[in-house]
């Protein structure tokens, strides 16, 4: 029932409980192998959507200052796992270069 409602975590917990009570239950064995990749895929999709929305919010806040989230790069230190943030100013086109000469 939970699986039909897309409540995969609850469905997996139920099937695991069934296996505790009856280790030979075939449907529960199949489900406990099938559901974890589905849960992982759903979680990755949700994480991607959340990060995209956060990036949009960051760009909304930074835009009045002529910045975007693309100006900030995160680098992970492989030794410690910590992150450092680096600012990179993007080249802005020079408005005078884009102007056409005035024909006279």
* 28 CB-contact burial (10 Å; exposed 0-12 / middle 13-18 / buried 19+): buried
What's residue 15's pLDDT? 94
The per-residue pLDDT for range 22-57, each reduced to its tens digit, is: 999 999 999 999 999 999 999 999 999 999 999 999
DSSP string, 15-46: HHHHHHH-TT-HHHHHHHHHHHHHHHHHHHHH
Domain boundaries, the chain: 8-87
Tell me the whole-structure pTM to 2 decimals: 0.60
Mean pLDDT along residues 67-72: 88
CA distances from 32 to 17, 92, 95 (A): 10, 54, 61
8 A C-beta contact, residue 52 and residue 42: no
């Amino acid at each position: 029932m939970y699986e039909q409602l897309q409540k995969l975590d609850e469905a997996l917990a139920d099937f695991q409980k069934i296996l505790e009570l009856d280790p030979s239950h075939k449907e529960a064995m199949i489900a406990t192998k099938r559901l974890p990749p589905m849960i992982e895929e759903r979680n990755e999709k949700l994480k991607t959507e959340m990060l995209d929305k956060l990036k949009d919010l960051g760009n909304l806040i930074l835009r009045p200052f002529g910045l975007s989230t693309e100006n900030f790069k995160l680098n992970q230190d492989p030794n410690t796992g910590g992150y450092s943030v680096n600012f990179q100013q993007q080249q802005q086109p020079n408005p005078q270069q884009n102007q056409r000469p005035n024909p006279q």
